[in-house]
Amino acid sequence: MDEKACWIPPVYTYKGSVPFPISPPFSAAMTGSSVSSRKVLSKIATNRLQKELTEWQINPPSGFTHKVTDNLQRWVIEVYGAQGTIYANEKYQLQVDFPENYPMEAPQVIFLHPAPLHPHIYSNGHICLDILYDSWSPAMTVGSICISILSMLSSSPAKERPEDNDRYVKNCRNGRSPKETRWWFHDDKV
């Protein structure tokens, strides 16, 4: 694969009059190297993610910070609880793993430990949110996923685990993906 075809120049900010890169450029060779069990991203996925990352760096969604790494296929995003909610002043981390055919297929999104206490977030970090599974659309972005998750957190009146948390987590041993779960979306109140 021609790396130049998938290369995007870094985004710069200025410190005084000196340009300063705020992210490393990514090439196709960098997208799969850190995760040996994953397939390399397609050119479409690589281009889309580079575009989303550039847009994120210029105008990040409020309440989120992308932790820069050299792996375009796995993002770690810090989530800050919205003021005026039960999660205010709390910080969590999302791990977003992109499939080789993103955006045609949804990314896998989980909370890293410790996951917030929420009726739709399991203690292993799996999130019961329809847009991550059945309602995914290629028009969605990482930013729109993050805003949906923050909205879900912000609307919760109580910090509690899902009723079936223990059973679900026990059945998800050995690193099973939440995308392998047959979710039942029945509660849209929180």
pLDDT tens digits, residue range 85-94?
999 999 999 9
Q: Residue 36 belongs to what domain range?
A: 3-180
DSSP structural state of residue 114: S
Is residue 157, in this structure, part of any structural domain at all? yes
Region 165-169: what's the mean pLDDT?
Answer: 85
pTM of the model: 0.76
Tell me, yes or no, whether 108 lies in a domain.
Answer: yes
Indicate whether 186 belongs to any domain.
Answer: no
Domain assignment of residue 120, yes or no: yes
Distance from C-alpha of 117 to C-alpha of 4, rounded to nearest angstrom:
44
Catalytic amino acids?
A: 128
Residue 130 DSSP code: G
* Residue 189 located in a structural domain: no
The dihedrals phi and psi of 52, each to the nearest 5 degrees, come to -65, -40
Report the number of distinct structural domains present in the chain: 1
Instruction: Give the C-alpha separation, 72 to 159, whole Å.
Output: 33
Element (H, E) at 101: none
| C-beta neighbour count of 10 within 10 angstroms | 14
156 lies in a domain? yes
Q: What is the pLDDT of residues 113-151, one digit of tens each?
A: 999 999 999 899 999 888 998 889 999 999 999 999 999
Question: To the nearest whole number, what is the mean pLDDT of the chain?
Answer: 80
pLDDT above 50 (res 104): yes
* Residues paired with 14 in a beta bridge: 19
- Give the C-alpha separation, 190 to 172, whole Å: 23
CATH number at residue 121: 3.10.110.10
- For residue 49, give the DSSP letter: H
